[in-house]
Amino acid sequence: MVAIPRSDYDSFCEDPDPRYPIVLIYGPNRGLVSERIDKLLKNVRGKSADDFTVVTLDGDALASDPGRISDEANTIGLFGGRRVLHIRAGSRSFADGLKPLLTGPTPEAFIAIEAGDLAKNSPLRTVCEAAKSAAVIPCYDDDARTIAALIDSSLLRAGIAMDRDAKETLVSLVGSDRLSTRAEIEKLVFYAGETKRITLPDVRAVVADASGLAIDDVLDAASAGDSKAALRALAAARAEGTSPASILNAAIRHLSSLHRMSLQVEAGEDTESVLKRNRVFWRRMDDHKRALRRLGSRSLENALIALGEAELESRRSSALADAIAERAILSLAERGKRKAS
């Protein structure tokens, strides 16, 4: 196996090294696997696409007929061009059928293998990683750094600028799957239109999970003791379609997190260090600091009990759920007005 540096995975797919006729692309990030396989197949064919025949094969079918891989890999194209085999791995191993191609003469065809998450000891990974003629490219879930880089490169190509707070918020909202992230970026680019700029309100209006931002506004205002802002945010969240149950459940999670951090601060740890270790989003740092100053661990415990009772009551009396949620948020804001004793 050729050891490709992680930073070169994409450049390898854009300009495949002809010394490695077999490439395995696998990982839990199915969107990224699909993206890299498509890029690899496109660039293997190059501008002379007519000289290549792409044949897609099912891995489970190959597992039942191991000899077929060698047959397909060494078949000359009908019109004389080189064949490209695109193998989609399934639940059954076809590694035994692949071994002769990895240890013997270079196959006539280029072989691109697309797989999901593979354990380190899986037969497919084992045989490819042991072979000098194979390149292996894992596709792990995107983290904040790779998501930010993806946003930057996508917007640069589109000629779109993005405000810093909008970018940070988008990074926090999208998941770890590449295709889903690209879809959200494309929606934002389309939404920006002729303005050529993406702002925080744009992200909140477009991104699928942005409803969570409205709930954050409710909870940050309430735990900081700002009842008026909390009620405004609550009305906005309800107008966006966020249910009272979602708000109450989010409040319980929020206060549980604050309670854990409050205990750490009360044990003598620095507030800033506690917030960073708990990965509090930068935009919410100041709100969390205010909440920790005002709400001690005992007050948070009592607030959690009250919220649990409100959540149970809202399920029993769904017609009163809005009023119950509003009362619970106001109660939390009243606690936040008082300095922790």
**With pLDDT > 70 as the criterion, what percentage of the chain qualifies?**
92
For 105, the 3-state DSSP assignment is: coil
Backbone angles phi, psi at 82, to 5 degrees: -75, 140
Can you give the CATH number for the domain in which 46 is found?
A: 3.40.50.300
Mean pLDDT of the chain: 87
On whether the pTM is more than 0.75, the answer is: no
Task: Please give the average per-residue pLDDT across 266-288, as a whole number.
Answer: 84
Closest-CA residue to 282 (of 165, 127, 161) = 165
Can you give the CATH number for the domain in which 185 is found?
A: 1.10.8.60
Can you give the CATH number for the domain in which 273 is found?
A: 1.20.272.10
Distances (CA, A) of 194 to 158, 163, 198, 274, 299: 11, 16, 11, 43, 50
Residue 46's pLDDT is what?
63
pLDDT at 340 over 50: no
Residues 192 and 266 occupy one common structural domain: no
Residues 185 and 301 occupy one common structural domain: no
Token pair listed for 157: 């190509």
pLDDT tens-digit profile of 233-255?
888 888 777 888 888 988 898 88
Residue 246's pLDDT is what?
85
Residues 18 and 111 occupy one common structural domain: yes
Task: Please give the average per-residue pLDDT across 324-335, as a whole number.
Answer: 91
Residues 60 and 105 occupy one common structural domain: yes
Task: Please give the average per-residue pLDDT across 19-34, as a whole number.
Answer: 92
Residues 329 and 244 occupy one common structural domain: yes
Q: Is residue 224 part of a domain?
A: yes
Quote the longest CA-to-CA distance of the chain: 84
- Exposure class string for 292-325: b at 16+ Cβ within 10 A, else e: bebbbbebbeebbebbeebbebbeeeeeebeebb
DSSP 8: G
For 121, the 3-state DSSP assignment is: coil
How many structural domains are present in the chain?
3
Task: Please give the average per-residue pLDDT across 70-93, as a whole number.
Answer: 83
Give residue 202's identity as a one-letter amino acid code: D
